[in-house]
């Protein structure tokens, strides 16, 4: 069962760099599980080479201007042990070639969670003719149909509405239950669009994190939102680099989703339960966590990476 999600459309170059660093994080993936579809001239796949190749395409067609969307970020998730990591990469690469023909797409399978999944980052300028990628709700529905067809052809189960990648149903009030009308209204409002970005970031990070610390680090590292989560305070507060401050209660009411302390904690516990149900996945996840503890926290590593990048630029 493959579940396709489009997480975010990015504008800033720095956000693009951070997403590429996150997707190619060696603690989450490994050599042989990454590929770039389309026109890619570099010998190695690294955050730096992928960024440079994506930018080369934009400059070639004169599309490297401020304010335009620079990338699209999404995931394809599977039930634990349904596919080995290399097959996850293969599936995702074939999928994005059908959905985004003529575009360079980085595809990377991650192995640090119980459920195998692939991240994909799309360069929005076509290397064929320089046209910009524009997506709609209809496009996403068509992409999901292609995904379902590929699952059927491979003998995999097909995703069901209201269910996770492991086949378990969404719980009542779970944070994945969107209030769609409000969502689309805010997407079109530039003064409030940051709320949509935050909601998508929380959804993605809560789905990938195993605990509170992991969640907070992912939010800051990948999406630039600082999370203030204190036991002495009733609410979680999210703050971005532009000074927007949003309480979890306001976010929950706006989108009719549950991103409270209790709701997120239950999501982390569900990940733990899922891992214990699939021992090999749990073993892999535990090994990844131990490696991370020995090397330092994600936040600390992100700060070190940022320092190195600043010196090389």
* Under 8 Å between Cβ of 302 and 310: no
CA torsion through residues 258, 72, 3, 109, sign: negative
Domains assigned to the chain: 1-161 (3.30.930.30), 170-277 (no CATH)
The 10 Å CB-count burial string (b at 16+, else e) for 41-56 is eeeebebebbbebbbb
Overall pTM > 0.75: no
Print pLDDT tens along the chain (313 aa).
678 888 777 777 888 888 899 899 998 898 899 999 999 988 899 999 999 999 999 999 998 877 678 899 888 988 877 889 999 999 999 999 999 999 999 999 998 877 788 999 999 999 999 999 988 888 888 999 999 999 999 888 766 555 555 555 555 444 444 444 555 555 555 566 788 778 878 887 887 788 899 899 888 877 889 999 999 999 999 998 888 899 999 888 887 788 899 999 988 887 666 555 444 444 444 444 443 333 333 444 445 445 544 544 4
Instruction: Report the alpha-carbon distance of residue 289 to residue 292 in Å, rounded.
Output: 5
């Amino acid at each position: 069962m493959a579940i396709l999600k489009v997480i975010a459309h990015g504008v800033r170059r720095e956000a693009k760099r951070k997403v590429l660093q996150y997707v190619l994080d060696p603690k989450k993936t490994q050599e042989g599980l990454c590929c770039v579809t389309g026109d890619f001239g570099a010998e190695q796949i690294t955050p730096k080479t992928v960024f440079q190749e994506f930018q080369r395409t934009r400059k070639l067609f004169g599309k490297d201007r401020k304010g335009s969307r620079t990338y699209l970020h999404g995931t394809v998730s599977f039930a634990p042990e349904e596919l080995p990591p290399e097959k996850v990469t293969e599936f995702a690469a074939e999928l994005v070639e059908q959905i985004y023909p003529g575009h360079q797409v980085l595809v990377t399978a991650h192995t640090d969670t119980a459920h195998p999944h692939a991240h994909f980052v799309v360069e929005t300028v076509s290397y064929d003719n320089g046209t910009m990628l524009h997506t709609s709700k209809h496009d996403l529905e068509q992409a999901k149909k292609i995904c379902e067809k590929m699952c059927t052809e491979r003998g995999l189960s097909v995703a069901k509405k209201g269910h996770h990648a492991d086949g378990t149903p969404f719980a009542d009030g779970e944070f994945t239950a969107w209030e769609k009308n409000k969502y689309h209204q805010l997407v079109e409002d530039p003064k409030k669009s940051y709320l949509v970005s935050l909601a998508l970031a929380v959804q993605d990070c809560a789905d990938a994190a195993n605990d509170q610390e992991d969640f907070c680090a992912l939010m800051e590292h990948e999406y630039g939102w600082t999370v203030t989560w204190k036991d002495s305070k009733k609410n979680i507060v999210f703050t971005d680099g532009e000074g927007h401050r949003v309480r979890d209660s306001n976010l929950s009411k706006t989108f009719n989703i549950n991103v409270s302390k209790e709701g997120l904690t239950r999501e982390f516990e569900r990940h733990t339960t899922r891992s214990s149900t699939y021992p090999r996945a749990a073993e892999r996840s535990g090994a990844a966590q131990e490696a991370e503890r020995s090397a330092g926290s994600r936040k600390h590593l992100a700060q070190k990476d940022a320092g190195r990048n600043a010196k090389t630029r």
